[in-house]
C-alpha cells in the first residue's frame, strides 16, 4: 500500500502565526532543516529530505506557501502494514538476497566444472588408447623398438593422472547437483515464509545458507587456474562513501578470515575502516579505524597476508602497513614508475600505480616514460617489495579504464564508463597478448577501482559510491607435457 499523504490547510488570517511556528519549532524537533527557493520565488522549508522508514511514526515532510497565500504542510503517515515493522522482515529480505547470490555463484561453478569435465572426457580415449598399445607392446616386444617403447611409457606416465582427475570431477558434478536441489528446497521454504512471516526459524535458515556457501567455496577451491571467459551481473553490496574509493578482503589469508577494509577517496586519504565481517560492512557497523602514517594516492590498494600495500601520496614509493601491529613494515620506491597523474587510468584520480594480487602472488601495474606510457606489469616480493620480473604489455595505460590480474594474466577494460568491457589480456606466463570481448554491466557508470580476489574468485569494484561484486567464469584447461 502506498504511503498516504495528508494536506492540511490554514486560513489566510492565521498564516503568519502558523508559518512562524513551523519554521522555528519543527526543524528543532526533527533535527534537520534547510531552506530551498522554489521556482516561483517563495521560500520552502525542508524538514526531512527523505521519506521516513516504514517503522517510523508520523513525520513532517515539508511546509510551503501555495499560490493563494495559504500555508501547506505535507505529512508522511506510518505504513499500515504491521508486518513491515517486524525486524524479522528485514532479515528475511537479506536472507533472500543471500540465497540469490549463492545461486548465482553455484551456476558459475557449475558451468566452469562442466567445461573442465568435458575436456577431461575428451582426453580419456587418448589415455586408454596409449595404455592399450603399451600393454600390446609389452606382450609382444618385437612389435616395437626399445626407443618407441620408452616413448609410449613416458606418454602414459604423463597422462595417467587424468584418470584420478576424471573421477574427482564426476564427484564435483554430483556435489553441484546436490547443492542445486538443496537450494531449490530452500527457495521453496523462503517463499512460504514470505506468505507468513515468522513461521520459520530464521537462524536455522541462516546456518543452512552459510553451509551452502562453505561447500561452494570448497568446490571452487578444487579448481585450478584458468582463462577469463565471462563476468556475471553485478551484486551491489552497499552504497557508501564518495564517488571514488576502494574496498577489499585479504587476498591470501584462508576463508576463515572474513574482515573487510574500506578506503574512501583517492587523494591524500589516511583513514582505513576495518569491518569484522562482510555482514558488518553491509550494515556499516562493528568497525575499527586505522590512521595511516603516510597518505595514499589513487585507489590501487591491496590487502595481502594481513598487510595493506599502497602507493604513498605524490611519490612512486610503495608502503606495507601491517594491520595487527598498526605499523609500517616496509617502504620501497618503484623505480621509474610515474606518479601524481602522470600515467593514470582513463578516469584519472592519481591511479598511476595499481597494486593487486592473484593466485600467483603480488603485482604492480604502472608505466614510465621509457615505456612510452604503455602498461608495465611487475611481480613483487611481498617481503621486500623488490621487483622480481617485469613485462611491457604494449597497451597504453591512459586508454585503460581499470585492470586486474587473474592467474598471471593482466585483464584491461576499455573504459571506466557505461558500456565498458574487458578488452585486452596479457599473459605473463607466455609473454603474449590478445584482444578480448568480455562485456560486463557497469551499473552505476563510473568505476574507479576493480580488483580480483583469488581467495573468493570475485571482482571487487567501487562504482560511483557503490561497492559491487562480480563473479567470474574461468575456463580451466588440464595440460600435460605429452
On the question of pLDDT at 206 being above 50, the answer is yes
Q: In what order do the strands lie in the sheet with 409-413?
A: 403-406, 409-413, 421-427, 432-439
Average pLDDT over residues 19-32: 38
pLDDT in tens, 324-375: 999 999 999 999 999 999 999 999 999 999 999 999 999 999 999 899 899 9
Label residue 401 by pLDDT band (50, 70, 90).
Answer: very high
Please work out, in degrees rounded to the nearest 5, the angle formed at the alpha carbon of residue 357 by the alpha carbons of 389 and 448. Answer: 115
pLDDT in tens, 39-91: 343 333 332 333 334 333 444 434 455 555 555 444 444 443 444 455 556 66
pLDDT of 464 reads 93
Average pLDDT over residues 113-140: 72
pLDDT of 250 reads 95
Label residue 176 by pLDDT band (50, 70, 90).
Answer: confident
> If you average pLDDT over every residue of the chain, what do you get?
76
pLDDT of 408 reads 96
CA atoms within 13 A on the CB side of 176: 22
Annotate the chain with three-state secondary structure.
Answer: CCCCEEEEECCHHHHHHHHHHHHHHHHHHHCCCEEEECCCCCEEEECCCCCCCCCCCCEEEEEEECCCCCEEEEEECCCCCHHHHCHHHHHHHHHHHHHHHHHHHHHHHHHHHHHHHHHHHHHHHHHHHHHHHHHHHHHCHHHCCHHHHHHHHHHHHHHCHHHHHHHHHHHHHHHHHHHHHHHHHHHHHHHHHHHCCCCCCHHHHHHHHHHHHHHHHHHHHCCCCCEEEEECCCEEEEECCCCCEEEECCCCCCCCCCCEEEEECCEEEEEEEEECCHHHHHHCCCEEEEEEEEEEECCCCEEECCEEEEEECCCCEEEEEECCCCEEEEEEECCCCCCCCCCCECCECCCCCEEEEECCEEEEEECCCCCCCEEEEEEECCCCCCEEEEEEEEEEHHHCCCEEEECCEEEEECCCCCCCEEEEEEECCCCEEEEEEEECCCCCCCEEEEEEECCCCEEEEEECCEEEEEEEEEECCCCCCC
- Residue 420 in contact with residue 436, Cβ under 8 Å? no
Instruction: Tell how far CA 71 is from the center of its chain.
Output: 49
- Residue 472 in contact with residue 459, Cβ under 8 Å? yes
On the question of pLDDT at 221 being above 90, the answer is no
On the question of pLDDT at 413 being above 80, the answer is yes
Percentage of residues in the chain having pLDDT higher than 90: 46
pLDDT in tens, 287-318: 999 999 999 999 999 999 999 999 999 999 99
Torsion over CA: 282, 287, 289, 290 (sign): negative
Torsion over CA: 331, 335, 339, 344 (sign): negative
Alpha-carbon distance of 442 to 416, in angstroms, equals 8
Reported residue count of the chain is 482
Alpha-carbon distance of 410 to 358, in angstroms, equals 10
pLDDT of 23 reads 39
Label residue 239 by pLDDT band (50, 70, 90).
Answer: very high
Q: Is 434 exposed, middle or buried (0-12, 13-18, 19+ CB in 10 A)?
A: exposed
* Full-model pTM: 0.57
Percentage of residues in the chain having pLDDT higher than 70: 66
**Other CB atoms within 10 Å distance of the CB of residue 412:** 25
Residue 270 C-alpha cell reads as 589516511
pLDDT in tens, 445-458: 899 999 999 988 89
On the question of pLDDT at 3 being above 60, the answer is no
Residue 282 C-alpha cell reads as 553491509
Alpha-carbon distance of 363 to 44, in angstroms, equals 54
Average pLDDT over residues 104-131: 70
Alpha-carbon distance of 359 to 295, in angstroms, equals 28
Average pLDDT over residues 266-271: 93
Amino acid at each position: 500500500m502506498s504511503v498516504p499523504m495528508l494536506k492540511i490547510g490554514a486560513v489566510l488570517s492565521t498564516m503568519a502565526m502558523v508559518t512562524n511556528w513551523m519554521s522555528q519549532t519543527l526543524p528543532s524537533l526533527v533535527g534537520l532543516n534547510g531552506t530551498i527557493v522554489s521556482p516561483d520565488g517563495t521560500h520552502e522549508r525542508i524538514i526531512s529530505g527523505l521519506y521516513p522508514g516504514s517503522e517510523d511514526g508520523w513525520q513532517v515532510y515539508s511546509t510551503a506557501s501555495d499560490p493563494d497565500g495559504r500555508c501547506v504542510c505535507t505529512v508522511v503517515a506510518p505504513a499500515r502494514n504491521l508486518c513491515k515493522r517486524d525486524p524479522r522482515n528485514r532479515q528475511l529480505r537479506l536472507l533472500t538476497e543471500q540465497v540469490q547470490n549463492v545461486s548465482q555463484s553455484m551456476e558459475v561453478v557449475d558451468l566452469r566444472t562442466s567445461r573442465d569435465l568435458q575436456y577431461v572426457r575428451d582426453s580419456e580415449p587418448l589415455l586408454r588408447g596409449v595404455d592399450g598399445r603399451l600393454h600390446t607392446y609389452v606382450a609382444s616386444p618385437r612389435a616395437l623398438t626399445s626407443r618407441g617403447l620408452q616413448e609410449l611409457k613416458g606418454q602414459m606416465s604423463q597422462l595417467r593422472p587424468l584418470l584420478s582427475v576424471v573421477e574427482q570431477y564426476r564427484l564435483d558434478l554430483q556435489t553441484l547437483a546436490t547443492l542445486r536441489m538443496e537450494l531449490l528446497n530452500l527457495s521453496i521454504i523462503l517463499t512460504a515464509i514470505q506468505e507468513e512471516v515468522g513461521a520459520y526459524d530464521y537462524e536455522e535458515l541462516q546456518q543452512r545458507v552459510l553451509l551452502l556457501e562453505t561447500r561452494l567455496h570448497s568446490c571452487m577451491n578444487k579448481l585450478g587456474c584458468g582463462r577469463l571467459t565471462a563476468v556475471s551481473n553485478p551484486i551491489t553490496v552497499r552504497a557508501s562513501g564518495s564517488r571514488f574509493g576502494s574496498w577489499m578482503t585479504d587476498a591470501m589469508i584462508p576463508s576463515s578470515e572474513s574482515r573487510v577494509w574500506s578506503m574512501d577517496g583517492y587523494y591524500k586519504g589516511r583513514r582505513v575502516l576495518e569491518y569484522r565481517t562482510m555482514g558488518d560492512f553491509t550494515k556499516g557497523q562493528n568497525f575499527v579505524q586505522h590512521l595511516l602514517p603516510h597518505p595514499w594516492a589513487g585507489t590501487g590498494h591491496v590487502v595481502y597476508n594481513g598487510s595493506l600495500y599502497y602507493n604513498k601520496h605524490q611519490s612512486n614509493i610503495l608502503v606495507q602497513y601491517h594491520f595487527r601491529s598498526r605499523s609500517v613494515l616496509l617502504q620501497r620506491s618503484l623505480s621509474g614508475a610515474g606518479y601524481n597523474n602522470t600515467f593514470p587510468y582513463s578516469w584519472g584520480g592519481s591511479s598511476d600505480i595499481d597494486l593487486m594480487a592473484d593466485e600467483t602472488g603480488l603485482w604492480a601495474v604502472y608505466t614510465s616514460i621509457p615505456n612510452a606510457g604503455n602498461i608495465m606489469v611487475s611481480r613483487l616480493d611481498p617481503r621486500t617489495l623488490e621487483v622480481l620480473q617485469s613485462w611491457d604489455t604494449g597497451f597504453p595505460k591512459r586508454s585503460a579504464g581499470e585492470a586486474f590480474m587473474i592467474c598471471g594474466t593482466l585483464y584491461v577494460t576499455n573504459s571506466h564508463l557505461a558500456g565498458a568491457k574487458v578488452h585486452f589480456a596479457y599473459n605473463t606466463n607466455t609473454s603474449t597478448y590478445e584482444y578480448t570481448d568480455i562485456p560486463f554491466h557497469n551499473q552505476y557508470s563510473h568505476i574507479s577501482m576493480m580488483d580480483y580476489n583469488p581467495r573468493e574468485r570475485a571482482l571487487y569494484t567501487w562504482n560511483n559510491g557503490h561497492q559491487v561484486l562480480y563473479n567470474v567464469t574461468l575456463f580451466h584447461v588440464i595440460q600435460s607435457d605429452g
